[in-house]
Chains A and B, each alone.
Chain A
Amino acid sequence: MKNSIIVDLKNIFFYYGETPVLEDISFSIKQNDFLAIIGPNGGGKTTLLKIILGLSKPDRGTVKVFGKNPEEGRKLAGYLPQNISFDLTFPINVFDVVIMGRYKGLIKKYSEKDKKSALDALETVGMLEYRNRHISMLSAGQLQRILIARAIAREPELLLLDEPMASVDPEMQKSIYELFLELNKKMAVVVVTHDIGAISIYIDNVLCLNRKLFYHGPKEGSLGKLEEAYSCPVEILAHGIPHRVLGRHKK
């Protein structure tokens, strides 16, 4: 079952008013994938994640997540949003944020196992000692790690991460990517990023998105297609030092 399809999108169209955001997107994600969704700003990457999670409804096309509709299937997913959609003065500490990732259903209390999973997730991202801190007393990078912990505390089968390295400093980035690589042994990992360079040594597959799907396949074959998606030359070092995608622009 290692290679079974867990997310399947067919002919997805999404419009923001009259503006097309996604046009005719079809692809699937497998159980053991480590996929990077890349493309320029406004290319529809976040929208695509939200469609998989059932947070946005496509105007056309079908979505299946674990063989079900997204509202059902998303319960097996862990999610890291791109933008913080909450108030930093909200009365909540780090532990209470992370345990929300363990939510299982109405009325059920968080069990001892839920609490342990939340603490384990905090330890994994190196934030255990901050568990009783209020969220307003964290740096942006620390907060990002807390939200990663919230996503993985769920012990999901599909981890969807929208720009996970935003505001995380470079030293931490490496260890977080290695964490994702480790998690990938147990679950599919999808990373949305506009910076392919840093992640390229870890991922297997790339999906280039700029309104249309330009490429989906092994990272080695993505070079030409990336340029097409960005409409500018892109350098990608498949097995090397992290590198920027938005390289030299030809005048």
Chain B
Amino acid sequence: MEIFQYEFMRNAVIAAVLVNIACGIVGTYVVIKKIVFISGGISHAAFGGIGLGYFLGIPPIVAAIPFSLISAITIGLISKRSKLSEDAAIGIIWAVGMASGIIFINLTPGYAPDLFSYLFGNILTIPVSDLYIMFAMDLIIILIVALFFKEFYAISFDEEFSTVTGIPNRILYLVILCMVALSVVVLIRIVGIILVIALLTIPSSICRQFTYNMKKLIISSIVTGIILTITGLWISYLLDLASGATIILLLALVFLLSFFIKKAVTAVRRLKTR
């Protein structure tokens, strides 16, 4: 494994582990609560934050944090409170975020370096400072989920009933969306804004076929995400391809395989019970 001798490779592997901790946890809620499209909206709106970062001359990823949080809360409020249909609201925020990002970059004098890496990701150019941000995000997400595990489980399962039992549904829903926003920010570096949603949802979608236990689902999603991200990175190194896109295609391929494996396992079990 001579490739891991390079520092950028070591950073890439650490980043793969850190982002997949966030992804496995938050992605599981995204998948079971069926907020994939909302999460797509939040991730694209984050581009506005990247543009703002360029404009203000601060690290784009730092500017993206408050920007994504605000867009997450906006989407959450609009979709729950107004008569505007939820997917229309998401579509609008999605486009407004991207458009404002483009305008900010227009207004910034000179050329915007690594703009491409925010759109499509580049795990190999991650600076150590970003690793600290990822680590902090992981800690925040783990803490929130540890505190509200029972509540998140209940509102994801049956929103109406959980409201009746006294769970502050709306606020916790916004908390989930904010966690999505935080994980989007850490993911942008790895796979880029356009591909974030895949890394957020595919590991959990693979794993939920094989377990009905929530805690096992979260942990197996994290492990699956880490293995596939590092494998994808290795393949992209061998074949000299873009790392983000390679990781996504590998995830999709494994998802397809897992679907057939699940079918085969079910068929074998049926034969046994006969």
Q: List CB contacts (< 8 Å) of B192-238 with chain A.
A: 208, 211-214, 217
Q: What CA separation (Å) do A79 and B213 show in the bound complex?
A: 25
Where chain A touches its partner, the secondary structure class is: loop
CB-CB under 8 A for A92 and B150, given A87-B34, A100-B158, A150-B161: no
B-side contacts of A75, CB under 8 Å: 165-166
Bitwise interface map of B from 106 to 125 toward A, beta carbon under 8 Å scored 1, else 0:
00000000000000000000
Complex contact A77–B164 (CB within 8 A) = yes
Indicate whether B86 reaches chain A with its CB closer than 8 angstroms: no
| Residue tally, chain A, CB below 8 Å to B | 30
Closest partner residue, chain B, to A147 (CB atom): B161
The interface residues of chain B lying within 8 Å CB-to-CB of A134 are: 212
From the candidates B165, B211, B217, name the one contacting A103 in the complex (CB within 8 A): B165
Nearest A residue (CB) for B214: A91
Which residues of B from 153 to 183 have beta carbons under 8 Å from A?
153-154, 156-168
A100 touches which one: B34, B161, B213 (CB < 8 A)?
B161
The residue in B150, B167, B214 that gathers the most chain A C-beta atoms within 10 A of its C-beta is B150
Contact B160 A154 (CB under 8 A): no
Interface 9-residue window, one of A104-112, A123-131, A190-198: A104-112
Judge if A101 is at the interface, Cβ distance under 8 Å.
Answer: yes
In this complex, how many residues of chain B approach chain A with their Cβ under 8 Å: the count is 27
Q: Inside 8 A of A61's CB, which chain B residues have their CB?
A: none
Q: Are B167 and A103 in contact (CB under 8 A)?
A: yes
Complex CA distance for A107 and B166, rounded to whole angstroms: 13
- Asked whether, in the complex, the Cβ of B165 is within 8 Å of the Cβ of A100, the reply is yes
CB-CB under 8 A from A106, the residues of chain B are 148, 151, 168
Which residues on the B side are within 8 Å of A87 (C-beta)?
Answer: 32, 34
At the interface, yes or no: A97 with Cβ under 8 Å from chain B?
yes
A107 touches B147 (CB 8 A): yes
Once bound together, how far apart are the Cα atoms of A81 and B159, in whole Å?
A: 12
What would 5 A/B residue contacts be, using CB atoms closer than 8 Å? A54-B164, A79-B161, A85-B159, A91-B217, A96-B153
- Interface residues of chain B, those whose CB is within 8 Å of chain A, are 32, 34, 147-148, 150-151, 153-154, 156-168, 208, 211-214, 217
Instruction: A85-B158, A92-B157, A100-B162 are known; give 6 further A-B pairs, CB within 8 A.
Output: A55-B160, A77-B164, A93-B212, A106-B151, A109-B150, A154-B165
